[in-house]
Amino acid sequence: METIRDDKMDDKGYAFTPLALLLMIPVVILAISYSGIVNEVNLLSAIVIGGDVTATVASDVVNAIQQDTADAGRRSSFMAVQSVINSTNVLADNQPFFNTTGNTSRAYITNTTAETININITNTCKDLERQTGRIIYINGRYINPNNDDSAPIFQGSDLSISQDDPYGFTISIPSIAITVVQNSSSAGQNMTFNTPVQTAYVSIEGLEDPYVWVNAKERTSSVFYKYPYYNTYMGNLEYHFADTVSAGKLDNLYECLEGANTIMGYRPYYFPDTHGLTFFDRLEGRTNNTSAGPNSAKMSTFILYDPLQEDHGNNPTSMLDHEYFASVTGYTITTKHGSTTTTVMGPDGKNFLISTAYRGYLNLSASYNY
């Protein structure tokens, strides 16, 4: 029997014709290529993201060093002040100030700052390692997040202090080597670099003045608050102490004497004074004649309430801080309206007294008409 072929069925069959095969090949190739692209993109993303996290960790370490230095310097300054105040004993007639040749106030602050930075930076690195899985080396030393290894990163002698203004100082931190490693077998990244020499400004505003506490025989205290009304013109300080004159009152001198009115009483402001004392002078009990600091960093304030009245007796004593403790004679300032003359007084109700020399330094006159 002759077999009859059904061409229609043949055309509709399931066998691949050469044309159908040619049409399918690009689809198969595209699928294979797409799979490869996805894998490559995933790998590239892992590299980019991993590198970005590694760089961020490195940046965080650098930022932490600067921030920790400022915080540690402030803490060290507070501790230095308290060390002098807590060592004061009037009955023992002791000298609680830092030694001006051996254990200087600067050495105390740099050593204490370095100790605090070492602890803080080590803890910061450990936290970053736990959070990101990165491995951190500082100066070639691995920061192990699982132990209390406290080998120092900085020594006190590595840090230096400079001071250009009365209300704070700058600590310089040397360059260190930092390596951050991504602990990944598929897309490991590492970054090694040396940090720049960094500086951090440390404010002393709000700290207590140990110089006043000791010399006033613990009877009064003074806090570093900045007098806001001065300016510098052509290299000269202009205090604006007598911008406004009225009966027995000079503004802004009165505001400087009043300063911060706290629950402990008035705390006069501190103002820049090239004949005054720096923060470090005050920690070391220096006089204005033995001050070792730059003129730009020196300051003065006033002493209210006459805490050493029994020592001075009836002698009128200048209220300028270092003059007061040296028993320098002070003179009144008066204001005059017509035939009425009034003596300038402070917020403590006492006559304002200042030496002739300082009256000139502060651009004050002996008498004002208004």
pLDDT for res 184: 54
Beta bridge partner(s), residue 299: 272
How many CA atoms are closer than 13 Å to the CA of 163, on its beta-carbon side? 22
Contact 207, 224 (CB under 8 A): yes
Are 109 and 77 spatial neighbours (Cβ–Cβ below 8 Å)?
Answer: yes
Q: State the Cα–Cα distance between residues 111 and 159, nearest whole angstrom.
A: 8
**CB 352, CB 257: distance < 8 Å:** yes
pLDDT digits (tens, 9 = 90+) for 50-93: 446 677 777 888 888 888 999 999 999 999 999 999 988 756 66
Residue 256's nearest CA partner among 239, 244, 232 is 239
Q: Residue 35: which pLDDT band, with cuts at 50, 70 and 90?
A: very low
Residue 6 has pLDDT above 60, yes or no: no
Tell me the C-alpha distance between 49 and 230, whole Å: 52
Helical segments of 150-238, H only = 210-215
Q: How confident is the model at residue 190 (pLDDT cuts 50, 70, 90)?
A: confident
**Residues near 283 by Cβ (< 8 Å), separated by ≥ 6?**
80, 81, 84, 97, 98, 105, 210, 211
Angle in degrees, CA 319, 323, 329, rounded to 5? 75
Task: Check residues 346 and 219 and name the one with the higher pLDDT.
Answer: 346
Mean pLDDT, the chain, integer = 84
Question: Which among 279, 288, 310 has a CA at the least distance from the CA of 84?
Answer: 279
Task: Give 8: exposed, middle or buried? Use CB within 10 Å, 0-12, 13-18, 19+.
Answer: exposed
User: Which pLDDT score is estimated for 28?
Assistant: 47
Q: Which residues 6+ apart lie within 8 Å of 356 measured at CB?
A: 331
Closest CA to 88 of 259, 257, 189, 220: 220
Secondary structure letter of residue 234 according to DSSP:
T
Task: Give the model's pLDDT for residue 183.
Answer: 66
pLDDT at residue 149, rounded to an integer: 65
CA dist., res. 327 & res. 204, Å (int): 28
| Residue 186 pLDDT greater than 60, yes or no | no
In 87-185, alpha helices (H): 105-132
What is the rounded CA–CA span in Å between residue 249 and residue 252? 9
